[in-house]
Structure 1
Amino acid sequence: MAGILVWFWNERFWLPHNVTWADLKNTDELTFPQAEDLYLACPLAFCIFMIRLVFERFIARPCALGMKIQANGPQRAQPNAILEKVFTAITKHPDEKRLEGLSKQLDWNVRTIQRWFRQRRNQEKPSTLARFCESMWRFTFYLYIFTYGVRFLKKTPWLWNTRECWYNYPYQALTVDLHYYYILQLSFYLSLLFSQFTDIRRKDFLLMFMHHLATIALITFSYVNNMVRVGTLVMCLHDAADVLLEAAKMTNYAKCQRLCNLLFVMFALVFMSSRLGVFPVWVLNTTLFESWEIVGPFPSWWVFHLLLLLLQALHTFWSYLIVRIACRAISRGKAGKWNPLHVSKDDRSDIESSSDEDEAPPPSHKHHSSSSNGTNGAHGTNGYLTGTSCHDDH
C-alpha cells in the first residue's frame, strides 16, 4: 500500500519541474491546498443531501402546494394479474409477438395492451410535485453558489487578467474564501453523483454520470496541484446557466408557460454563449496557451486539459439538443400547432409522452367489452421540461 501511495503521489506527475510537495507545505505565513483537505467533502456531501431532504419537505413542498401543483402522479394502470406478471418478471417493453399473444389471451385490443404497459411504466415515475421540489432545491443552491462566486471573483485579479492564474504558480496562497468555494462545490457534486441513482431518472443518465465524474475529477485535480484560480473561473461560468434552467423547469411545472418560454430562451442564450463562446475563448485559452507560455506543460497538466476538453464535448452535445428543441418549437409554431417558444416536451422528457397513441382510433368493436374496463379512457402523461442539465451541470 505504501508503494502504491508513493507511486500515485509522484511529484513528477502532479507538479511542475523542480517543485516538490515539501515546497507546498503550509507555513505560518502561507497556506496552500493540501490533498487531505478534500476528505472534508465526503461528510459535507452527506450534510448537503440531508439539508436537501429538509428543504424539499418543509420549504419546496409547501411552495408547490401553494402554487396549486398537484401531488398526483401519472394515471395508474388498471390492475391485471397477467400483464403485471409479464411487466415485473419478463419485460416492460413487450415486442409485437408477445403483444399479439397477450391480445388473444386476454381478448384485448393490442393498442389497449400497449397503453396499459405505457401507463404501468409511467406509474413508477415521480409526480410533478416531486419534480418541482427537486428543481427548487437545485435552483436555490445554484443561485447561492453563483452569487457567492461572483462576489468572490470580482475582488480577485485573475478575473480581469487570466494570466494572473499562472504567475508564481504553484506558489499561490489559498485564501479562506477560495477554500470554502472549492470544498462546497466538490461536496455538492459528490451529493449529486450519489443522489442521481435516487433522483428522477432521465434519458441522458450515463452522460450526466460521466459529467459529474469529470467535474469531481477536475475539482480534485485542480485543487491538489493548486490550479484553483482557473478552477474558480470554470465553476462560476458553469453556474450561470444552471440557475436559469432550474427556474424554467419550476415555471413549467407551475404552468406559467410564457414565463417558462422566456426563461428557456434566456437559458439557451446564456448556455451557448458561455459554454461555446466564453469557455473556449476565455478559459481554454488561458489553460492551454497562457499556462504553456508562463509555466509549461507537465503530466497532470495534460490530464487536466483532457477533462476540460471532455466537458467541452458535453457542452457541444447539449447545445445541439437545445438547438434541436428550439427548431422543433419554431417549426411547430409556424404550422400553427403551438407557441414557437413552447418547450414542455423536449428531447429529455423523462415521462413517456403518449400523444401519438392517444390520437389512434378507438379499439375495434370486437374487443369493446374488454377495452372499456378502465383502459379505454387512458390518456398519456405530457412530458415536462427537464432541460439540458449542465453541471451540473462543470
Structure 2
Amino acid sequence: MTSFLAWFWNERFWLPHNVTWADLKNTDEAVYPQSEDLYLAGPLAFCIIMVRLLFERLIVRPLVSGLRIEVKEAQKAPPNAILDKVYTAITKHPDEKRLEGLSKQLDWDVRTIQRWFYRRRDQERPTTLARFCESMWKFAFYIYIFTYGVRYLKKTPWLHNTRECWQNYPNQPLTVEVHYYYLLELSFCLSLLVPQLADVKRKAAKMAKYARFKRFCNLLFLMFTLIFITSRLALYPAWVLKTTVFESWSLLGIFPSWWLLNGMLLLLLALHCLWAYLILRVTCRALSGPQGRKLNPLCVSLDNHHEVDFSSDEEEIPPHPKKPPHTSHRSQRNANGSNGAHRTNGYL
C-alpha cells in the first residue's frame, strides 16, 4: 500500500518543476492541503445521508401534502413464470417477433403481453414521492453550496483577475472556507453513491412538473436553457479554460499533471457542447411539428439511455400493433370475450 501511494502521489507528476511535497508541509504560519484530509469525507458523507433522511421526512413530505402532489403506486403485473423469465433474463422491451412467439406460447394476444411488460417495467420505477424527495434534496444542497461559493468568491482577488490563481502556486495556504467547500462537495458526492442505486436522475425543475405547475415548468425550462448555454458555452471557456490552459502555461510552464487536468476540462467542454445540442434539439422538437403544442419541453429526460423522451417519467401504454398477430381462434376469443378473463387475470 505504501509503495502504491508513493507511486500515485509522485511529485514529478503532480507538481511543477522545482517543487516537492516537502515544500507543502504544514507550519505554524500556514496550512496546506494534505492527502489525509480526504479521510474526513467518509464520516461526513454518512452525516449528510442522515441529514437527507431527516430533511425528506420533516420538510419534503409535509410539503408534498401541502402541494397536493398525487402519489400513486404502480399497478403490479400478474405473476407469470414464463414472462418473468423473459423479463429478467432476456429483455425488458421485447420486439414484435418475440411478442408473437410469447402470444402463441401463452395463448394470449399481443396487446395483453405488451401491457404485462409495461406494468412490470412500471413496478421498478420510483414513486412520485421518491422522485420529488430526491429532486428537492439536491435542489436544496445546490442552492446552499452555490450561495456559499459565491459569497466566498466575492472576497477573492482572482474573481476579476484570474492570473492571481497562479501566483506562488502551489505554495498557497489553505483557507478554512476553501477547505470546508471542497470537503463538503466531496462528501456530498460520496453520499450519492449509496442511494444512487435507487435514485433516478432528475432536474430540480422536475418538482414543478410533479406538482403539475405547467406554466412554471415551461418558464424553468427556458431559464435552464439560457443559463446552461451562457455558463457552459460562454463563461466556462472564456473564464475557466482561459486561465487553466493559457495563463497557467505562461506563469508555471507545462508539467505532466497539467496535461491530465486540462485534458479533462476540455473533455468537459465537449460534453457541454453535446448537451447543449441535445437541449436545443429537444426544444425545437417540442415547439415545432404537428404535436408541438402538446409537448412540454421540461418532460424531456436527457439522463436516460433513450435519445429523446417526450413523455413524463411514466411510460405510455403501448398502442395496438399495426398488423394483427397470427393468433388462434381460441386466443382471439380470449382477447374479446369473457372466457379469457381467467387466463389474463382480468387484465384485458
- Residue 375 of structure 1 corresponds to 347
- Residue 67 of structure 1 corresponds to 67
> Within 1, Cα distance between the matches of 2:22 and 2:121?
57
- Native 8 Å contact 1:71 1:129 kept in 2: yes
Letter in 2 for 1:287: T
| % identical equivalent positions | 62
Deviations 1:106-133 (A, max 9, x none): 3321122112112211111111111000
DSSP 3-state at the match of 1:308 = helix
- Native 8 Å contact 2:32 2:172 kept in 1: yes
Letter in 2 for 1:264: F
- Residue 343 of structure 1 corresponds to 298
DSSP 3-state at the match of 1:26 = coil
Cα displacement (A) at 1:199: 1.2
Question: Highest Rg: 1 or 2?
Answer: 2
Letter in 1 for 2:173: A
- Residue 328 of structure 1 corresponds to 285
Q: Does 1:353 align with 2:308?
A: no
With 27-36 and 82-91 compared, the bigger mean Cα shift is at: 82-91
- Native 8 Å contact 1:325 1:346 kept in 2: no
Deviations 1:266-304 (A, max 9, x none): 011101111111101110010000010111111111111
Deviations 1:200-251 (A, max 9, x none): 278xxxxxxxxxxxxxxxxxxxxxxxxxxxxxxxxxxxxxxxxxx41x1110
Cα displacement (A) at 1:359: 9.4
Cα displacement (A) at 1:102: 2.3
Length-normalised TM-score, structure 1: 0.77
Cα displacement (A) at 1:358: 6.6
- Native 8 Å contact 1:257 1:342 kept in 2: no
> Within 2, Cα distance between the matches of 1:99 and 1:358?
12
> Within 2, Cα distance between the matches of 1:175 and 1:64?
40
Q: Does 1:249 align with 2:206?
A: yes
DSSP 3-state at the match of 2:192 = helix
Alignment of 1:232-381 (within 5 A): 245-246=203-204, 248-332=205-289, 335=290, 337-338=292-293, 342-347=297-302, 348=304, 351=313, 353-354=315-316, 357=319, 366=333, 367-369=335-337, 370=340, 374-376=346-348
| Contiguous gaps of at least 5 residues in structure 2 | 326-330
| Contiguous gaps of at least 5 residues in structure 1 | 203-244, 377-394
Which runs of at least 4 in structure 1 moved beyond 6 Å after TM superposition? 358-364
- Residue 178 of structure 2 corresponds to 178
Letter in 2 for 1:56: E
Letter in 1 for 2:299: S
Letter in 2 for 1:259: F
- Residue 328 of structure 2 corresponds to none
With 108-117 and 259-268 compared, the bigger mean Cα shift is at: 108-117
> Within 1, Cα distance between the matches of 2:45 and 2:287?
41
Q: Does 1:122 align with 2:122?
A: yes
Letter in 1 for 2:293: W
> Within 2, Cα distance between the matches of 1:316 and 1:31?
39
Letter in 2 for 1:96: E
> Within 2, Cα distance between the matches of 1:355 and 1:343?
21
> Within 1, Cα distance between the matches of 2:300 and 2:322?
20
> Within 1, Cα distance between the matches of 2:66 and 2:322?
37
Alignment of 1:18-57 (within 5 A): 18-57=18-57
Letter in 2 for 1:161: N
Length-normalised TM-score, structure 2: 0.86
DSSP 3-state at the match of 1:338 = helix
Cα displacement (A) at 1:139: 0.4
